[in-house]
Amino acid sequence: MDDKRMEVAGVKEKFTIVIGCGVARNYSLAYTRQAADGGRADMVESHDSVEGKVYRIDQDALHYLFQREGVNAHIYRPAFIDVKIDGLSYKNVVTFLVIDKEEEVAPPAHYAMEILRGAQDFVSVDYYRNLKNGLMTKFQMKLEGGHF
């Protein structure tokens, strides 16, 4: 969701059509992928919901996402889920789920910042507050100057 990350990667032009804020019910956000510097985001089944940007993408963008998410390295797998955007249902929206889920671990500060920056002013106010509070309470992350 983070435009800055896409810009740095040189792929921002592949992600210009934003359909809206998708709500995926029966999932929650967790950091179940352990990288060398900390956790990475995942969606796990729950009685909650996850919010995020839904883009209309082409084959080039999908190919980039497969590489970035480590599909061929068996880190994440593509999954097709249903989401609601402004009350309308969208079926078979692609997302990526961690294959070998581990115990949740704190994400590094730079990654937490990417998640919050991408979500800010896009997801619902309540969801954003819960994202931020979850990082602060679950992982004892501290705010620096109002931002991670």
Q: Which residues are catalytic?
A: 69
Angle ∠(26,31,35) on CA atoms, nearest 5? 145
Nearest CA to 55 among 8, 98, 9, 6? 6
- Euclidean distance between CA atoms 86 and 95, whole angstroms: 19
2-11: burial string, b at 16+ Cβ within 10 Å, e else: beebbeeeee
Q: Is 20 helix (H, G, I), strand (E, B) or coil?
A: strand
Q: Give CA torsion, residues 2, 106, 94, 127, to 10 deg.
A: -70
Across-strand partners of 76?
98
Amino acid identity, residue 16?
T
